Structure formats: C-alpha cells, structure tokens
Amino acid sequence: MTDKTTDNKAYLYSASAPTSEQEGRFLAFLRKKYGEETELVFVEERELSDGFRLQIGNDVFNWTREARLEQLKESLKNLANRDGELIPLIRENLHDWTPKACAEQIGRVLTVGDGIATVSGLDSAFYGEILIFAGGLRGMVQSLTEKCVGCVLFGDASDAGVAAGTLVRRTGRISGVPVGEEFIGRVVNALGEPVDGKGAVAADKYRPAESPAPGIVDRAPVKRPLQTGILAIDSMFAIGKGQRELIIGDRQTGKTSIAVDTILNQKNKNVICIYVAIGQKSSSVASLVHTLEKKGAMDYTIVVSATAGDSAPLQYLAPYAGCAMGEYFMEKGRDVLIVYDDLSKHAVAYRSLSLLLGRAPGREAYPGDVFYLHSRLLERSAHLSEKRGGGSMTALPVVETQAGDVSAYIPTNIISITDGQIFLESDLFYSGQRPAVNVGLSVSRVGGDAQTKAVKYAAGTLRLDLAQYREMEVFTQFAGDLDETTKAQLCHGQRLMRLLRQPQNRPMSHHGEVIALVAAGSKALDGVEPEKSRDFVMSLIDLCEREHSELCLRIDETERLTDEDKAEIIGAAARVIL
C-alpha cells in the first residue's frame, strides 16, 4: 500500500481563516513535503476554536487541544522507563516539551456489520494494527486490499454509533494486552480489561498479543517435570515444563477437569497458571473461578475469559492475549502453565471472521491458514535456555471431538503441532472410569525424560499391563473357560483400572503417586476386592504419612526411590486394614 496522495490540495480546517503570514508558512511546509504544486484550501469549522486540522490526501496534521494533550500524555508515559525520582522528571519533561506536528491517517467506514468493518483511506495501515473509531470503539486490521482494509471490531458497532461514514484513526500500534504481576488472581477479558468487579489493574507494560516464537538456540531440552497430580497421566504420559500436551475428547468427558486439577496441583510450586476460556458459558467460567478461589488457586492464576456471549474477534484474540501474559512471566525466568479451553471454538470463531472478511473457504469451510492459526500460538510455548533466563511455558490445549473422531480437520492439525495427546474416551467415562484416559491412543512424546526418577521406577510395566488387560478384556467376551494365568492378568488389570479412578479436584501428591504405584506393581492389590482398590491405596498413603513421614519427605525432596524405600512401602502395605 502507498502513502502517496492523488490530490494536490491541502484542506485547512479552523474556526478562523489564516493570516497571510500563517498561510505562507503552511504552504512552505506543504510544498517541501508534498511538492511545489500543492495548494491550500481553507474550510471553516467553528468547533475548532482551540487549534486547527490540516489534511492532504489521507494524511492529517492534528493541532487541536485534544491532540496536543494526547501527545503530552504519551510523552509522560515514557517516563516510566527512566530511572530517577518521578516528580523531577515530570517537571523536566513539561519544561522541555513542545507539541509536534505529526501526520496521522484518517479513514472512513464504508460498510459495517456482524462485527466487521471495511474502511477506506488508511493506505499505510498494517496487518494486526489497532484502529480507533469515532466513539472510542477499537478494532484490529485483519484484511488488506488495494482499496480498503477489513477490520474486526472489539465491541458492538451499534452501541458505539459506528456506521458508514464514521471517522477511523490509525494508532500505529499492533494489537496487544497490558501485562504485569497485578494480573495474578484476576479475571480479565481478551483486551486485558478486568471483568471480575475488583477494580482496575495496574499494568507493568503493554505487550503485543502476537510475537515470534523462541528460536532453537534460545530453547533448552524439556526435562523438568510438571506434575498434574493425576496418577494416570503422571505415571504413563508425563508432561514436562515447556511441553505442549493436547487434551482431546468428546463433549462432557472431563477435559476441563484434567486442566483444573493440573492448576490445583501447582499450589506452592512457584508456577504461574493462566486459564483461557474460549466460547464457554459465563456460568461455567464463574463456576470454575469459584472452584479455584475455594482451593486457593487464584493466588497464582490468571483467567482470560472470552465467553460465548462475546464477539468472535474477542474469542479469536483471547488465546494470544493469554499467551502474551504468560510470555511476560516466562521471560522473567518463571514457570508458566497455560490452558487453552478450547481451540475447537477458537477455530470456529476464526472461521466466522474469515468468511465475513471474504476469504475463500476450504475444507469444512475453514480458511487455508487455519493450521498457522494454532501453530504460531503453540510454538510460543518453550523451555528457555539459561542464557534467556531459564523460564518455561507449558501449554495444555483442549480440543473437542465429535463421536471420538480424532481424524477430523482441527484435531489432526493440532495433534501434529503438539508433543503428545491425552485422549479421553466416552465409553470409559460413562462406565465410571474417570479420568477416562485411553491408554492406547494417549501418548507423550517427551515421555520418561519429564518423569521424576521415583515415578519412573515405581510405574514399571503399568502401561503395558493396562494395554494387555484392555486387549484381553475384549477377547474374553468371546471365550469360554479361561486358564489361571489369564484370570490373574484380568484380576490385576481390574484393580489397576480402579486404582486410576480419581475424584475431581483432588490431585495426588508426588509421594502419594509413588506409594500407589509401588503398591500396584508389587501385586499388593491383588488380594483386595476391585471395588476397594482405591480405598486400600488411600489408607496406605495415610499410614505412610503418619508412620513413615521421613520416607514421604525423602521421596518429595530427592524425587528418587531406592530399593529400601520400595521395601518399606511394601511392608507398610501388609499392615493396611480396610
């Protein structure tokens, strides 16, 4: 796009005509900048009694009182980045400050509707730039054509009085959100504005919603474990700090529960958690926030909410805003956990925007860049090198499937981007197995590298035993008499499945998981009724915490399990009475 004007006339809007001397100065400035043929045309505008506005083509030089005060405001904002006492700096700044004649482009709305506006006259606008509409409504450039730009609106156009002919002003700023420590414990929208009724948030800085992902040189291997507190996941599909692990399954199969339990398990572990709600009901988000507050998890959690009642542009922007907040902490050397719940609705919101902007639809009416939509988001999760501070951001994207179809367009896209997936099966869920983790389809591509030594040693052949049990369970439906070995494997598998059932919002401690896995691996559960497997293990953990507290402390601190520790746990299991 170009900055050149097609008209050699400059229009001076003011309450009074300029004097000959003023007109000569205007012409000297204009002809130096736009050519010797430039003419000056005076247009009376009585409302501009405190200044003037000079317009040539799409360039506007605003010398009104409001514009000069805005310049002063921006100048004072820059003082926050300077060292020294604030009051003397303000005095110095006011003494030396003089307004500048800065050109800004003013456009006009051509059409508006369904959260989309097309604007003419903004020849230099760039993709992702924030525009300000008359009335204060903000929008973001999402489409660039030869004659106009397409803009998504962050609000209701009718409420703000935006219609055809409305003036639009460029800001020169890419879309972003305020970030800072004060956002911890708050519920904000996709623009970083608080929606929890607890007042304004003091931001440390403004950060672009989209930024390049860390390069290979800036990354470190994913080796440090991020424990979920869910035995089925930590023992078989370990998640490391900096990893991207997909949670996938049908509607109402416990996807959000796994994410919430993982957040609850980060208490007192110096991990900042960010939960991004996309397209959910407001009541569901409120219930989740209440659970986090009740468990004390809001002390280290930020909730970014773009509910089903919000516009598609806000739903589209929400995960990028949450990611920008996470990057702020990651670059300060902190560990961050971010949950995107869910990216299926995010893709639908983006499809709506794309179709309204006139982009060509592809498979399932999604635009051709829908893969890039999520890849540029998830690639920003990383474990930074020590040179970059050593911080990390772990992503748990959530995707909803239809009838367990993991081969659909959006699920396959995100599976190919992430480092593994936890697949929740409807049949398991409805049979009472919760969390309903399918052992065969779930995987972590980081695997044992992200497990503690203790859990890795204690888990042993758990995953293999469960896989054999599931296969044998299907086979026994068609078989008659079973041999003793097969019966023993079935009984052992039944008890393992019962052990992996875990109540919601009750994550297990690290030593608790190790004790449970040792009990399962030593066949201590085989003499217990399957229905009492979970009760047996809970009693064993309680016994160890009371009578073997040094053992529990040693496992938590060293994250290792010795043969002596294992024997001590097996000995305690023999003394458990249900």
**Per-residue pLDDT tens over the stretch 232-279:** 999 999 999 999 999 999 999 999 999 999 999 999 999 999 999 999
Active site members: 445
Task: Give residue 20's pLDDT.
Answer: 87
Strand partners for 278? 306
443, 389, 264: which is closest to 339 by C-alpha?
A: 264
Reported pTM: 0.85
User: Tell me: the pLDDT tens digits for 109-156?
Assistant: 999 988 899 999 888 899 999 998 887 889 999 999 888 999 999 988
From residue 29, how far is each of 48, 54, 60 by CA, in Å? Answer: 21, 11, 14
From residue 311, how far is each of 108, 314, 318, 346 by CA, in Å? Answer: 22, 5, 11, 12
Q: Give mean pLDDT, residues 513-533.
A: 89
**Is residue 2 over pLDDT 50?**
no
Per DSSP, 265 falls in state T
For the chain, what is the total number of helices (H) and then of strands (E)? 19, 20
Task: Give residue 192's pLDDT.
Answer: 94
Yes or no: say if 122 and 157 are a contact pair by the CB < 8 Å rule: no
**Is residue 281 over pLDDT 70?**
yes
Yes or no: say if 129 and 173 are a contact pair by the CB < 8 Å rule: yes
Task: Give residue 103's pLDDT.
Answer: 59
User: Tell me: the pLDDT tens digits for 317-343?
Assistant: 999 999 999 999 999 999 999 999 999
Task: Give residue 5's pLDDT.
Answer: 43
Of residues 158 and 92, the one with the higher pLDDT is 158
Tell which phi-psi region holds residue 155, choosing left (phi > 0), alpha (psi between -120 and 50) or beta: left
What count of other Cβ atoms lies within 10 Å of the Cβ of residue 346? 30
Lowest mean pLDDT among 16-30, 182-196, 552-566: 16-30
Q: Which helix (H) or strand (E) holds 496?
A: helix 484-499
What count of other Cβ atoms lies within 10 Å of the Cβ of residue 66? 10
Task: Give residue 260's pLDDT.
Answer: 97
Burial of 158 (0-12, 13-18, 19+ CB in 10 A): exposed
**Is residue 33 over pLDDT 50?**
yes
Task: Give residue 23's pLDDT.
Answer: 85
Q: Give mean pLDDT, residues 406-418.
A: 95
User: Tell me: the pLDDT tens digits for 355-372?
Assistant: 999 899 999 999 999 999
**Is residue 548 over pLDDT 80?**
yes
User: Tell me: the pLDDT tens digits for 165-217?
Assistant: 888 988 888 899 999 999 999 999 999 999 999 999 999 999 999 999 999 99
Yes or no: say if 274 and 448 are a contact pair by the CB < 8 Å rule: no
Yes or no: say if 307 and 345 are a contact pair by the CB < 8 Å rule: no
Task: Give residue 480's pLDDT.
Answer: 60
**Is residue 578 over pLDDT 70?**
no
